[in-house]
Structure 1
Amino acid sequence: MPNLLSIFSVMFLPILITIIILYGIKKKTDIYDVFIEGAKEGLHTCIDILPFIIGIFIGIEALTSSGAMDFIEKAAAPVFNFFAIPEELISLIFLRPVSGSGSLVVAERIMEISGPDSLVGRAASVMVGSCETIFYVLALYFGVTSVKKMRHSFTAGLIGYIAGIFASVYICKIL
């Protein structure tokens, strides 16, 4: 089975590109021009997204550099202890909704300290893989699309995130 997956992963992109080219030829489309137009649109999207990404990273750096994150962790520790959530996960829990890459760094640090097979390491891995970066997604998608009313998006995202936190910890405790 691992050999089959390895072959599939190596062949996936060449096969996909071949299918797209053959489809374009069948539809008599100027494939190169369509590709260039898509690349131009992609660059415009990158330029539109960039200010939101910069703003998020500046906010994260301000929180961590000022010591505010340490203060928040210490203040929130009793609440997390009440719900039997390990204190080592607090910084990951607070950072994950804001930054995926920042939370990966925190998860790596957690695993270096606690070990990847510990409860904390496993729970951190599950959180990184299953909990969404709510604020990042909302800032990015709603900012780029100029949608002003998020309606229930934030509430639903936050409820899902909290459920993901509890599920990550309690499932890892059970297993």
Structure 2
Amino acid sequence: MRMGLVYGCAAEDMVTGLTIQCKRWKPVYYNPTKSAFLGVSPTTLDQHLVQYKRWSEGLFQIFLSKYCPKIYGHGKISFGAQIGYCLFLLWAPVALPTLYYVVIPALSLLHGVPLFPKVFGLWFLPYAYAFFAKTAYCLIEDLSSGNTLNGWWNSQRMWVIR
């Protein structure tokens, strides 16, 4: 068994995973009963924001480097995997549409322009379905991977902050 690690960037775990897949190694998900390598996670909002900024910069740097999945993974991993990696690496630029979704509803509320359909109208159903389907999917995914309900709730709150 060999181990391959790539260093030299802020998100070296992502580059290592991409390199392992491009070398056609078989990745193994190992989840021992006794937890190890837990590390220290940020505890305050300031620490979280600094951590997410570092991750965002590191992931975007990978996208702009020779390790871009569309270049480095071309012909080595599937097209779907390339798109998946690119989506994750473009975490920082995706913040721009999120900013749009924060600013536009506030502006429409201040100017009295209705942005969403009435709650009892027929056009509200797609919004409600999307919200409940996404929430249920995330909850089931977290619980099936061994997380607790409290852990899921904390990750939902952190998603809003990010």
- Please, what TM-score do these two structures have when normalized by structure 2? 0.24
**Larger helix fraction of residues:** 1
TM-score, length-normalised on structure 1?
0.23
